[in-house]
Chain A
Amino acid sequence: MPISNLEKLKLPDALIEEINNHALIQSYTKGETIVSKGSFHNKYGILISGLLKVSVVHETNSLLIYHIDQDNIPFITFLDFKNNLPFTFDLCAVENSTIYWLDIQKVLHWGDLYDSFRNYVFQSYSFQHLSLFNTLKSEKINSLNTKLYTYLVNKSKLLNSKQLAILNTEIAKDLNVSQNSISNALKILAKEKKIIKYTNTIAVL
């Protein structure tokens, strides 16, 4: 069973065992929507393997907020523990992914017993807020070229590859702009020697 992520968090062994015993394990394929905005999902998630993305959506608009990967805090924290309220975001699998889903009551109980677990839970909320503020700031002050380059660099780091097999449609959706704008911005970045655009891939320099 892939428990490497839990071990990386350096949680107490007894807690790792409890999590393994109580988690509902689910796997998702690349591109699959895991939870949609407005749906009710009263479980707390820990990403065990793969890569996820969190987006804000409104009617036909969608904007990538941040990725959840194994190397940073892999907690999926959108919930109000007190009230059963709907998800504010869309959560999708960028790569084939496995998530441990945990009951909220268990999470609260373990939070009382283990300070390190409680800290992870709430720190992940804070990092999510920081990502939201960073997105807002970027939307306010950055040009599309800057946003696109930052997006490609981040994606390259997350996938640990300089070559990204990514379609313009996917980038356009993540950045909430038209495909034409993405094509134009990619040409500018190529001219500035920040990327090389191949037929099906983009090399981040």
Chain B
Amino acid sequence: MDLITNQIIKILDNEHCLNYYRFLSNDLIMNQESDFFTNNLVVFIEGVAEAFCEYGDTNNFLFFTQTAQIHFLNTINVFTEIPLQFSLKATTPCKVIFIPKENFFNIKDTSSLYPILSQDYYTLQQLISDSIINTITKNLDELLYAYLKQKATALKVEELYVHRNELSESLDFSRESISRSLRRLEQQSRVLRKPRSIIITGF
């Protein structure tokens, strides 16, 4: 566990605010539709998770987050009543802490958490900004390759066991488009398709 996560745990432990929740792969950790996250802060302790926005029936992949990358996941809710803007699904088993907002503001040492909060705001703004750049500049092949590379990096593997359906849902393209795109990426030697997995090459 990283130093900052340890520091947060120590502060929360002193205040008896340590309530761990565990999630299995594919469990929804945060739901953008739920009011719960307007009143509770989420600290990500362990695992890899995928963030996405839902617009009507469509999903829009945002980013993968992993241990030590972002600590407070719903920073947008800490000082405002703005609804949560994205959902988070566990890619691997994950561990998080939920803190009711009123408990957070009663913590004696809250001020030592502000620099960490600003760091999380900064990281999140970079990730959303990257997602906007991907949306306005990349075609499906580039989006798919970026998605696979990000997932492989977060999971620290070269071979991803991933279904076409999952890719189709995450990137909001048809299965056929995803298959054609994977074929093109293979022709460019950027991926190697196997019956049940995809190997990211040159990575």
Contact = CB atoms under 8 A, between A and B. Distances in A.
Interface of A: 56, 58-59, 61, 63, 65, 77-83, 85, 88-89, 108, 111-112, 118-119, 122-123, 125-130, 132-133, 135-137, 139-141, 176
Interface residues of B, number: 35
A70 B128 CA distance: 25
A111 B114 contact: yes
Contact of A129 (B111, B114, B124): B124
B34 to A, nearest CB: 16
Contact of B128 (A81, A112, A133): A133
A9 to B, nearest CB: 15
Contacts of B82: 126-127, 130
Given A81-B115, A111-B114, A125-B121, A136 B131 contact: yes
Contact of B117 (A61, A83, A122, A139): A122
Given A133-B85, A139-B132, A82 B126 contact: no
Given A132-B125, A139-B132, 8 more contacts: A58-B136, A58-B137, A61-B137, A80-B122, A80-B123, A82-B119, A118-B114, A129-B75
Interface of B: 53, 55-56, 58, 60, 75-80, 82, 85-86, 111, 114-119, 121-126, 128-129, 131-133, 135-137
B55 A132 contact: no
Contacts, number: 105
Contacts of B117: 122
Contacts of B123: 80
Nearest to A58: B133
Given A122-B79, A126-B75, A130-B76, A79 B129 contact: no
B119 A123 contact: no
Given A111-B114, A118-B114, A122-B79, A80 B133 contact: no
